[in-house]
Structure 1
């Protein structure tokens, strides 16, 4: 085993070992098959340590972006096997990174007789497999493939320099937690209103990716009450409403060819999320019909101006706190919070240019707008 010089690796590895042990034990008790192997604490520590120092190096002027998965070649489907075992160290990772930085490609590592080695790459990993993403210099994301799921993996921890953020699922058990948050926390909750496909998560990831900032308002279908909170005339009305994504969801229910359906879903999500970069807000229904984009939010007639909200970040050690809306963000956040205050059966998702992402919803329990800060779940 390599000697650990990144101290956050020691601290995080203890919590992560327990997390994956509990996760996989529960899955096995339920009779699940093809579950990933559990990495030992020492193995997790070494993987984090090597990945962190590799993230600070550059190959031909570029910092590495790489996904490292802990699994044996036998656990992968149709793996690309290297002819020799490569040493798992910063030099090897830095050299290999340019060739495997594309989305969906995992560098396979395994441990044998106290030594970790690289055996090849794979596109398919088992459920709950330990994955470490090197996202940018000094930023590591530990995650796992969700059970039966596709698309966004479930984040477990974020390490940035000496800062460690462990995701706390307990925040998702609150009665008023929006479904997109519980789905990101992998609490077996539907990710949208009509089925378990994580369309809202895919939209959130795409909104965050374009780095222009934006607002997505999700309103009840067959209702026009949302128009009372929007400035008229609309700058970019969509008429008739754009229903390509809604029709795709119907195709999913009808069990269309899965791979083809996924490609179509990805393209439609990119198409719709791209328009959220236009100044203003996009409005879609819960069944994913697009009504307008670039819309200006206004306070509903006879409604009061919102001042405080409940702020929640699902991180171990944090707790829900009441904050003035100005403490949470700027104009986008204020207008989104006001919209939810006036349209309490809706959802607002706000992407900031700096990568922050907030979901606003109404809490019947607290009788306040609540803001879930979820960028740690989307990285």
Structure 2
């Protein structure tokens, strides 16, 4: 392979990414999984990241490209769209092709031909654990793979933002008190998880982050009113009776939950709830997904002490827990969420920042304090 790379972060990350895919594909083979992708070599990873990075900085008719590259031969792509003649993997070609394949779920296929990596066409079908590189915005790349069960969001492996590299630590979910939402995003939860509550919270988090306005979502136990002690009254937009569109969808028969009509309804319901979090104040739902209120202001119950310190972590290699004052984690929205979970220890708080940062606040019995899990690297 003769492509010469000039993007330093591509060289830095390639060997670690090769090791990740080799390990997971080998483990899947030991479990007799079939229709697995081919493990990418470091040289291919480096070349793909290099071409994608420089393409991300270009423009086509004034628009930055959004591209998804999948490393696989056409034979593994179901019924692909094939170019009569493959194209060279170059930033210029990627920029030209980007408008045709920017819709979600479409990948440009990349494979070896005559000793070079070439673009052979496009596909919506890829095998399990297939290497995918997505250009999210200028200078921001995400390396991910399709889950073994094929359900839900792809599992992120690494995030490259300019020269900054974050490699996801999939062992983060093994620490005590790890929220199931985080475990699912790391790809360590059960096959059925994408048909249950975790799926809803993951999709809510993604939708909250995507609207780009920032927001807070509080998840409280169903059937109790204890959370009201931590909310300033009157609530700006209280909902009575509780709005149950999302809850009703989750109660439908499992057979219906596999249909496209049900999936479309679920997506609209999730986007509806996530959109409410853009309103100033917090949106509140039960853990059964009933909408209880939005635009709510969080307050400290009488007699309760202010939250003094929290543990902050990010599930990336080299990321160490930090115990600090909650004011160091973000602005008023983050401080309020930490206070809410400090006082309502059976609740979760999901907080999106306008800059794309996303944090789960959960009570940790092991640490006896609020734990702030920063997960934006998993949501891209």
Q: TM-score, normalised to structure 1's length?
A: 0.96
Pairing of 1:59-208 with structure 2 (within 5 A): 59-189=60-190, 195=196, 198-208=199-209
In structure 2, the residue matched to 1:22 is 23
Q: Does 1:370 align with 2:351?
A: no
Pairing of 1:325-336 with structure 2 (within 5 A): 325-336=326-337
Q: C-alpha deviations, 1:42-98, integer Å up to 9, x for none?
A: 111110111111111111111111111111111112211222211111111011011
In structure 1, the residue matched to 2:292 is 291
Distance 1:209 1:44 in 2: 27
Pairing of 1:277-356 with structure 2 (within 5 A): 277-356=278-357
Compared with structure 1, are the counterparts of its residues 339 and 126 closer, same or farther at alpha carbon in structure 2 (3 Å cutoff)? same
Distance 1:217 1:308 in 2: 20
Q: C-alpha deviations, 1:22-55, integer Å up to 9, x for none?
A: 1111111111122111111111111011111111
The answer on whether the counterparts of 1:193 and 1:286 sit within 8 Å (CA) in structure 2 is: no
Q: Does 1:216 align with 2:213?
A: no
Compared with structure 1, are the counterparts of its residues 118 and 206 closer, same or farther at alpha carbon in structure 2 (3 Å cutoff)? same
Greater CA drift, 62-71 or 181-190: 181-190
Q: C-alpha deviations, 1:170-191, integer Å up to 9, x for none?
A: 2211110111111111112589
SS at match of 1:38: coil
How far off is 1:199 after superposition? 1.1
Greater CA drift, 10-19 or 243-252: 243-252
The answer on whether the counterparts of 1:13 and 1:41 sit within 8 Å (CA) in structure 2 is: yes
Compared with structure 1, are the counterparts of its residues 292 and 192 closer, same or farther at alpha carbon in structure 2 (3 Å cutoff)? farther
Distance 1:198 1:67 in 2: 23
In structure 2, the residue matched to 1:41 is 42
Greater CA drift, 76-85 or 211-220: 76-85
Q: TM-score, normalised to structure 2's length?
A: 0.96
Distance 2:68 2:185 in 1: 19
How far off is 1:252 after superposition? 5.5
Pairing of 1:5-16 with structure 2 (within 5 A): 5-16=6-17
SS at match of 2:178: coil
The answer on whether the counterparts of 1:189 and 1:196 sit within 8 Å (CA) in structure 2 is: no
In structure 2, the residue matched to 1:246 is 247
Distance 1:230 1:296 in 2: 6
Residues paired across the two proteins, number: 379
Distance 2:118 2:253 in 1: 40
The answer on whether the counterparts of 1:193 and 1:287 sit within 8 Å (CA) in structure 2 is: no
Compared with structure 1, are the counterparts of its residues 361 and 378 closer, same or farther at alpha carbon in structure 2 (3 Å cutoff)? same
In structure 1, the residue matched to 2:55 is 54
Structure 2 unmatched runs, 5+: none
SS at match of 2:37: coil
